Chains A and B, each alone.
Chain A
Amino acid sequence: MNRMPQSVESTQAIAESDAIAVERTLAGDRDAYRILVERHSHNVFRLAYRMTRNRHDAEEVVQEAFLRGYQKLGQFAARSNFGTWVYRIAANYAIDRMRQRQKEEARREAPRMEDQDGMDHDPLSRVKDESPTPERLTQSIELRKQMEQALAALSEAERTAFVMRHWEGCGIEEIAAVLKSSSNATKNTVFRAVQKLRLALQPLVETRAQARAMGTES
């Protein structure tokens, strides 16, 4: 988990400073919102990129999250942490964007798949079945590609839960709120995500580790 590590003091100082910026924005000082945008944009971008796996989509998600955040800022007043709040808005919008992207890709992929020979074209099973050669495994870029495919094969909920929990260190309640699900169901979603990733990647990771141990990987 690598959400930006911050001391309790600095987290509190940021929250207080955020609260002042929110108050000023609500009082009509639009430029005060700039402080919030500049302070949180990198974190929100990281979340959005990890969810969408696409820089263009991530930038769109960040932009939309801050626009929506501004429009709904009045509803935020009673809440405690602007960073968490805008994070949640971004995660929700990223889910919408992923669904949209998936539909677009399904439309593009469908005719191509029909033309071929009836083989299983699911990216996850391709990772499992291809038994990559040691030569290919020596290239980190190939493993990266397989990891991207394995992540892409997760459902939106699984990817959201995995990104928010494993990479962003969000609490289960926070993730459950984004997924509109219960805590237990969210824990299950995290489990399913890791299980699928493991199923897809463990053979590759182990082969790579063996290659490293034998000194055959660069």
Chain B
Amino acid sequence: MKHITEEQLIAYREGVAEQRTAISEHLAACEECRAELQRIEAVLAALDTLPVPDPGADYGRQLWMKIAPQLTDKPGRWWQAWLEPGRLAAAGAVMALLIAAFLVGRFTKRYTPVDNVASKEQVRERILVVAVGEHLGHSERMLVELSNAAPSDPKQKEVNISAEQHRAEDLLQENRLYRQTAVQDGDAGLASVLDELERVLLDVAHSPDEVTPAQLEAIQKKIETRGILFKVRVVNKELQQRQEAAAPAPAQSDSTKRERNKV
């Protein structure tokens, strides 16, 4: 008879075994496995005798007295967070970009089906250039602040990065949209930088509000290792130059895309 493994017995004892019925049936028939299970149970039963101190009947009230003075800000509902000015502005900017891109598509299609294809691309790209430039600027500022963040006191156990975390959440939404647009436009260089930026923004957005100095250092190291700040600056500068240049020709646009693909 094939006996039950220790792993299966422990899983069975702790109520997480997958083949519970089969194990039960085997235990009913196998004295050796029953004895093994009893040995496991004896250890667990001994551990169950470890006492937990009683904090006292008044513990809840005492705890409340301690924390009540610290509960200064009113907690917000999840949807209220979206009504904060920063997030509202970000959502508005994304919506405006979507509407603009839609309108460009509509009008160019209706009036100039053949000749204005290039012009449509130019307008779309100009909108993208302006919006992405702003987005990269905001991202760069947030990353610089996070890279320079440090505990104000060396004894400080945790550093609050909630402001950067919330900004990263906002930027993440925009970033996804711009990356998808860049992919659709065949701008592989920009899409690649936005993809890398998205990973960093994700890391920051998913960090706790308060991090230990070691955790903060790990985040900063990640930013530094990926060289994302440098890439963001290079692409942003290039976008600014394109923005300054009046209505670039399609051929120029392609060459700048090719250059950026090398970043």
Contacts and interface: CB of A to CB of B under 8 A. Distances in A.
Interface residues of A, number: 56
A121 to B, nearest CB: 23
A123 B52 CA distance: 22
Contacts, number: 121
B212 A96 contact: yes
Interface in A1-52: 1-2, 25-26, 28, 30, 33-34, 37-39, 41-42, 45-46, 49-50
B75 A147 contact: no
A148 B71 CA distance: 36
B89 interface: no
Given A147-B50, A172-B16, A195-B6, A37 B63 contact: yes
B59 A143 contact: no
Contacts of A39: 60
A202 B39 contact: yes
Majority DSSP secondary structure for residues of A touching B: helix
Interface in B216-246: none
B120 to A, nearest CB: 42
B55 interface: yes
B10 A67 contact: no
B103 interface: no
Interface of B: 6-7, 10-11, 13-16, 39-40, 42-44, 46-50, 52-53, 55, 59-61, 63-64, 66-68, 70-71, 73-78, 80-81, 157, 209, 212
**5 nearest CB pairs, A to B:** A38-B60, A73-B75, A74-B76, A41-B60, A194-B10
